[in-house]
Chain A
Amino acid sequence: LAKTTQPISMDSYEGQEVNITCSHNNIATNDYITWYQQFPSQGPRFIIQGYKTKVTNEVASLFIPADRKSSTLSLPRVSLSDTAVYYCLLQGGKLIFGQGTELSVKP
């Protein structure tokens, strides 16, 4: 069983900030929260990883509250090329994928 729950789909417009929230109530102490992006006909690609508080890199930010039972991926100013499926995973061993969130960015 997947350990995470995400919205199935989201719509946005170019230039907007998109926040995708993931629930992981049974997160283990040694689990890292990791997000992957997948375009059609490609394998998933790593976006960002965090353990607690806030992590930011060149493409996204990851917000994790103190209890670590949820996390939010924030994509600033999305473009059409950000249309993809986004997966939230708990990484502490083998990767188990949940259903993912299909993000559609419209002009």
Chain B
Amino acid sequence: SAVISQKPSRDICQRGTSLTIQCQVDSQVTMMFWYRQQPGQSLTLIATANQGSEATYESGFVIDKFPISRPNLTFSTLTVSNMSPEDSSIYLCSVEGGGVRNTEAFFGQGTRLTVV
């Protein structure tokens, strides 16, 4: 199995500022995924981050708002830029593989972001 650590676990930020969320995995993985989960809602995929290439963004998400870095096979960051209260959500990092079932996905505990 893969163990994922996310930092920070929570933060309260002023509107107009940016926050960078870190995701560290205890094993090398090819694909990492970033999700957003708004209060009481399901998870929405923001983007897929592959090492050595630009992230692939889902419809409704753009690189200028959510820049992603993937410097190596165990680490990724997601930045939430120029924040507004609508960005208040839980942001989760996920990876696939590493388990007995090679398509099993593992998730971090999430970063709870509140924008005031």
Contacts and interface: CB of A to CB of B under 8 A. Distances in A.
B19 interface: no
B77 interface: no
Contacts of B44: 97
Nearest to B101: A49
A5 to B, nearest CB: 12
B104 to A, nearest CB: 5
Interface stretch (A18-26, A37-45, A61-69): A37-45
Main secondary structure of the interface of B (DSSP, over half): strand
A41 to B, nearest CB: 7
Interface string B74-97: 000000000000000000101010
Contact of B105 (A42, A92, A95, A100): A95
Interface in B86-116: 92, 94, 96, 99, 101, 103-110, 112
Given A49-B103, A49-B104, A44 B48 contact: no
Interface of B: 4, 33, 35, 42-45, 48, 92, 94, 96, 99, 101, 103-110, 112
